[in-house]
Structure 1
Amino acid sequence: MVYKSLTQIDPEGVEARLCHACVRRVYRVFGPNHIWACDGHNKLKKFGICVYGFIDAWSRKILGMFVHTTNNDPKHVGVYFLHLVSKIGGIPLKVTSDFGNETGHLGTYQMWLSARYAGITTEEAEQRMHFTKSTHNQKIEALWSQMMKQHNASIKHNIKKAIHEETYDPNNKVQKLLFLFIWIPVFQSSVDMWVDSYNHFKRHRDRRTALPTGCTADYCYSTPESEGTTDQLVRVPTREIKSIIELDYPDLDSMFEHTPPWFHELASRILEDLGYELAHITVGEAWTVFHEMLPLVVAEIDRFPDSSDISDSSDISDLTGEED
């Protein structure tokens, strides 16, 4: 019954499957900066670590990965996009992402800048932001799978092990704040190194795809003429992006704080007294630093008036707004 229906709907597809020769979906991209795909990665969200990433769909170069305690704040995602535009020097012909509240600012900027600098109408600019189902956002979804296997899985195991062995209690407010203080920047540094390695890894040649292979993502992205194509970037003056950021995000610095200011001040001083710098702490050293700092933080925390609601018995859901 099912076979008969399928042969009527898609006879060629059925025949291909019977021959074990399913035709791949064709991914039409004409060069670097034709399409940027973006999405959030939530596999470590329950620990307070979230990632938002951008990838160039043609070269598969990772353009940026940003680590914070949330990846669904439209202001954060908007800033990530603007920082990339400023760094790269323009916008892509199209951005593709899942449809969600977090892309509100990003989508607005992509359409507005397209209308302003791509020489197209407002109606045409609306087509420069494409929303799709996560299952159809192929390039970024494939990237998350690779990242999980090559980078995140071992860190996830590391954190779960600490919780299981009761050397870290995520429901203790002080410990959770110290965890975020250390692990957000440490994880960002680790991700940055993985991204650099990913972008400079030479892929095997694959004649089944029209996308560039046999080269690194970074090389393909920066030298499209080697593949017989051109950069599709729509140039945008850096001063324009700077003005947008200053106007739309006057509280930029406080937006990306992942612990309360008073705690950051306390933890930063203790970290310095111990002779550490967050920028130089590796994933392998994170727990050592955590356990050296914890008793010192606990000993001084009552000196801060804003810490009055924090105690060893407090539930972390009060701090983060998470539901039990």
Structure 2
Amino acid sequence: MPNPQGKNGRGVVSPPDAIIRPLVEQYVANGYSNQEIISRLRAHQETSKFNISLSLLKKRRSQWGVTSARGQAHTIESIGPAVERVRQRFPKQGSHDMKQTLRQEEHIMVPRDLILWYMNLHHPDEVQRRKSRRLKRSTFWTAGLHDIWVFDQHDKWRRFQLFLHVGIEPFSGRILWLKIWWTNHNPRLICGWYCDTVQSLGAMPLVTQSDPGTENNGIANGHTMLRHLQDPGLARTLQHKFRGDHRNIKPEIFWSQLRRRWTPGFEDILDFGLSAGIYNLDDALERLVFHFVFIPWLQHELDLFADKFNNTKPRFNMHKILPHGRPNDIFDCPEKFDCRDFSVIVDNSSLEQVRKTYAPSDHPVFLLVPQEFSQQATAFMSELGHTVLTRDNIWDTYSGLLMCFRAIEGEDPIRSVITAQPKIPCNGEKLIGSEEMDVLDLPPFVEGAGYRVPTGESAAVNSSDEESDFYEFTWTDEEAI
């Protein structure tokens, strides 16, 4: 007979479904085993006080229908519709990524062998094309977690007036941010994303790194200022590395992966608008409507990709020394991977000083569209009844909103907003939103010089003044077949 008080023999209360179920579903979607789920639940703040055993977890999962691949017992016929839905969004996705997408977005647990069987049966040409790729390997050096953060911009969607930017912690491989915006050539915007990440983590790395370019001077200056404010002993050195000639390896490899694994399906949607004449980026009104509709939708899709990327364990790579695991696991619990954490705890007052200097929140580059336009567009969207944007209704939503603005484009203040929009630059001209910022007049960062591992209250728990071996990681620019 079950205990009416819900306690075991030790008098520890079992967790209620309302608390434990969302966590279990999240961990299952991220591919954790039952033992890993129990370990995480016992360490989680909300569930650590409850009794959680393997038998209890299995019982609850059975009651909720949160089953494993074997429990779902899918066949080639049953996975077909879900696989085709994923292929519609990601037409070049391999079986490794397909498995993660099915698990996280379709809630389907299926072995990779079954996916390969389906793909070889229904799309054999695609499998052969993926098998024929040659591997490209590059070497990256880092001392440990938060030893360095790396950044890079991506301009392949310039023809749509869309630009991407990524920040990565290379030791764990975790994506710190993955942004899409109407510019990525403004140093204040890039520095703002850096400050947002530092604030959310409460810590910063020892050094930052990027390609040469004035758009990266905001991070170079902001990070250097932040390090100087907290460690005056570094005042004579720039705490940022500029790496040209394709030496900023990790983000460059990431862009290659994104181009294969995420971009094609969404690029087809965007190209449709251009080829059909629905979107003319030289028309200021159409460009404003396009940004208002498409950037939030694409950002949501990029967030899903980044979350899947951070929670997916890469295939074992014999050329990579350490660590092997999900980026989020390495990032959150480096001690379980025998890794050192070099993160520097950040003082909020110092971070605010950096923001005011290099990334003021009232700068217009942080606005998706001008405020007057945004208010009117939001009102029109409410009238049109569009709430959830999908690949099937995105251009219809854009066209409906554009029609509403066409009816009032001659009225103030919308007319003033439209006429104030800059023209699309020709070759050689600065991109819209670009801004010049000189890098601090300090000696450039040199390996082995101007490099201090912090100690005391401003240092992370695992940091010390001891010398550390630098780990060599060979990153393979490839995708699972």
Aligned to 1:44: 157
Task: Structure 1 unaligned segments of length 5 or more: list them.
Answer: 1-22
SS at match of 2:142: coil
Q: TM-score scaled by structure 1?
A: 0.82
Where does residue 307 of structure 2 map in the other structure?
196
Q: Is the Cα contact below 8 Å between 1:81 and 1:106 reproduced in 2?
A: yes
Alignment of 1:93-112 (within 5 A): 93-112=206-225
Determine what percentage of the aligned residue pairs are the same residue. Answer: 22
Counterpart-to-counterpart distance in 1, 2:172 and 2:156: 25
- Relative distance call for 1:47 and 1:117 in structure 2 (3 A) is same
Closer, same or farther: CA 282–118 of 1 in aligned 2, 3 Å: farther
CA offsets, 1:242-265, max 9 Å, x none?
Answer: 343246544536331232333222
User: Do the aligned partners of residues 149 and 284 (structure 1) sit closer, same or farther apart at CA in structure 2, a change above 3 Å counting?
Assistant: farther
How far is the alpha carbon of 1:294 from its aligned partner?
2.1
Contact 1:91-1:236 at 8 Å conserved across structures: yes
**Alpha-carbon shift at residue 150 of structure 1 (Å):** 1.6
Q: Secondary structure at the match of 1:53?
A: strand
- The counterpart of 1:178, out of the listed 277, 289, 297, is 289
Q: Cα gap change, 1:249/1:61 in structure 2, threshold over 3 Å: closer, same or farther?
A: closer
**1:287 aligned to 381, 395, 399, which one?**
395
Q: Quick check: 1:131 aligned with 2:242? A: yes
Cα deviation, residue 80, structure 1: 1.1
**Contact 1:186–1:283 (CA<8 Å) still a contact in 2?**
no
Query: Taking structure 2 as the reference length, what is the TM-score of the superposition?
Result: 0.56
Partner of residue 296, structure 1: 404
Task: Report if aligned partners of 2:282, 2:424 keep a CA contact under 8 Å in 1.
Answer: no
Q: Distance in 2 between matches of 1:84 and 1:106?
A: 12
1:223 maps to which residue?
Answer: 333
- Segments of 5+ residues of structure 2 without an aligned counterpart are 1-135, 428-481
Flag the structure with higher helix content: 1
Contact 1:117 1:234 in 2 (8 A): no
Moved more, 61-70 or 162-171: 162-171
Distance, in Å, in 2 between the alignment partners of 1:153 and 1:305 is 38
**What is the CA RMSD across the aligned residues, in angstroms?**
2.6
Partner Cα distance (2:361, 2:250) in 1: 33
Q: Matched residues in 2 for 1:183 and 1:305: separation? A: 23
Match of 1:81 among 168, 188, 194: 194
Letter in 2 for 1:54: G
The verdict on how the C-alpha distance between 1:216 and 1:171 changes in structure 2, with shifts beyond 3 A counting, is same
Work out the CA distance in 2 between the residues paired with 1:148 and 1:41. Answer: 10
Distance 1:303 1:143, change over 3 A: same
Q: What corresponds to 1:14 in structure 2?
A: none
Runs of 4+ more than 6 Å apart: none
Counterpart position of 1:11: none
Residue type of the alignment partner of 2:375 = E
| 1:320 paired to 2:418 | no
Equivalence map 1:2-151=2 (5 Å): 26-118=139-231, 120-123=233-236, 125-126=237-238, 128-133=239-244, 135-151=246-262
> What secondary structure, in the 3-state scheme, does the structure 1 residue paired with 2:273 have?
helix
Letter of the structure 2 residue corresponding to residue 300 of structure 1 = I
Cross-structure match for 2:272: 161
